[in-house]
Amino acid sequence: MKNNFNIEDKYIPTFGVEIHAQLKTRTKAFSPAKNDLNTKENININPIDLGYPGEKPLVNKKMIEFGYRIAKVLKANVAKQISFDRKNYHYPDLAKGFQITQYYQPIGTKGKFTIVNQDGKEKDIFISDIHLEEDTAKKIELTDVLIGYDFNRAGIPLIEIVSGHKNFQNINDVLNYVKQIANQLVFIEVNDGKLFKGSFRVDVNISVRNKKDKKLGTRVELKNLNSFNNIKLALEAEIKDQIEKIETGKKVLKVTKKFDEKSNKTIFIRKKTSLMEYNYIPEYNIPIINLDEKSLEEFNKFKIIDTQLLRKKFIEKKYLQNEIDFILSSPKIYNLYQELLNLNIEEKKILSFLTTNLQRQFNLLKIDSLSFNLDHKLIAKIIKLYNENKITTTDSNKLLSNLILNKDISKNLDFFKNQIQFSEIKLKEIILEIIKENNKISNQYNERPERVEKFIVGQLMKISKGKANPKLAMKLIKDYFTKNE
């Protein structure tokens, strides 16, 4: 069906976002099993995770501290008293037949997160509640007909952040909210923000209504969207699907769907379960927990960095989006950026080096920006050599690669630092001489500039015996031909 109108002309989409983030605790939420997914399947399990008869849950104090930290940074009302409840449903990934979660007394309620658009405009997104719960086992499709479950994931502590639905005006608001919440959780060191790994998961409830209607449309839930791009594509596809149904007189059903990347469509999974069907009851094996002053004092020792304040500052400084994204991708990158600033390196040079050289090496070497360990003073020396034209891009990348791989680069740095290269004046003289002696080739510059440049640089390196800086030489060659066109 081809629509002859814009969504904004006739329909209003409404969004509600649920974020499920695994917490980086050492052990699971309610058992002593290790919280570690980087092992063989079904190794990190405990009878408590599997719901064996007589096994009782043990509350992980670190999980509560992380929950408190999240509630605080999201400006929520932090509960002084919390309890846990059972959410009852039967599914193969839930061996106990119920999930321990929070329903009656969550860790946080009535929060607010301010998203910042690239133009610096702010928008408050209200959060209805923040609650702690345990993850389920991971479904693994072994063959076309055989399915397995990895219970290493069962019992890993989760935080669920449930937004209100009145503040999202469009898909871009949803994307900004999800990305910026992910950054904030990474900076308070409770989650790694990795959608593709499943440690940070997003469900979006979406409904569409005619602008003339006051009542919201039927809500459809999109589950486990595993990339920012897929969130965008899934929401676009679901809005289109709901509008087509409304336009053709079909009923929009209250269901749960997933996004299919091959067809670029949202696909039915199951009927949406109501809250009543979950039959929430208090978890009678876990007593009500009071957050006393001593515990709160201990929790408050962690210094929270507000990523949204940093984002606003960077936007005001006219940083590019990719520069902001990389600096805020992890506290370690941000700290490196700060350390380099403190060494009085020019801001633009730092940004260029971080978002080209460093980010490229991370991608090539498959290094996580959360886990690297680099000496900022050595990074500064590489930048300095590069800016002084004492090393080429290739040299800087090689040094950086070796540094990331924990190799000693001190001798290399000393070599480049002490290397005597031809001055700019001397290079200009040699370049001019090469051009005069090779008029036939030089005159082809307008038709074949790359060939001419390559030829002159080659001749220059022979004459200088490798002491010419090719980066500077290329600039001087281009400058010469630009002025003499």
The dihedral over CA atoms of 184, 308, 332, 188, expressed in degrees to the nearest 10, equals -30
pLDDT along the chain (485 residues), means of 10: 59 95 97 95 96 94 97 95 94 92 96 93 96 95 92 97 92 96 96 91 94 90 92 96 92 93 91 77 95 91 94 95 94 94 92 90 86 85 81 82 82 64 75 87 85 88 76 84 76
pLDDT at 472: 79
pLDDT at 122: 95
Q: How many CB atoms lie within 10 A of CB 371?
A: 9
Could you give the CA distance from residue 8 to residue 332 in angstroms, rounded to a whole number? 42
Domain boundaries, the chain: 7-295, 319-418, 424-483
What values do phi and psi take at 163, rounded to 5?
-85, 165
Question: Can you say how many angstroms the Cα of residue 132 is from the centroid of all Cα atoms in its chain?
Answer: 21
DSSP state string for 88-104? E---TT-TTSEEEE-SS
Could you give the CA distance from residue 287 to residue 274 in angstroms, rounded to a whole number? 27
pLDDT at 1: 45
Residue 375 in contact with residue 368, Cβ under 8 Å? no
**Segment (H or E) for 271:** strand 265-271
Instruction: For residue 378, give both structure tokens.
Output: 């050595």
Q: How many CB atoms lie within 10 A of CB 235?
A: 22
Which residue type occupies 79?
A
Residue 136: exposed, middle, or buried by beta-carbon count in 10 A (0-12, 13-18, 19+)?
buried
pLDDT at 138: 94
Could you give the CA distance from residue 485 to residue 481 in angstroms, rounded to a whole number? 6
DSSP state string for 219-261? -EEEEEE-SHHHHHHHHHHHHHHHHHHHHTTPPPP-EEEEEET
Could you give the CA distance from residue 173 to residue 440 in angstroms, rounded to a whole number? 59
For residue 188, give the nearest of 322, 72, 64, 75 by alpha carbon: 72
Could you give the CA distance from residue 132 to residue 156 in angstroms, rounded to a whole number? 11
Paired sense of beta strands 157-163 and 122-134, if any: antiparallel
Residue 267 in contact with residue 232, Cβ under 8 Å? no
Which residue type occupies 31?
S
pLDDT at 178: 97
Could you give the CA distance from residue 100 to residue 133 in angstroms, rounded to a whole number? 6
CATH code, 424-483: 1.10.10
Which residue type occupies 334?
Y
Axis crossing angle, helix 449-464 with helix 470-483, rounded to the nearest 10:
130
Could you give the CA distance from residue 212 to residue 209 in angstroms, rounded to a whole number? 8
Residue 84 in contact with residue 286, Cβ under 8 Å? yes
pTM, whole model, 2 decimals? 0.84
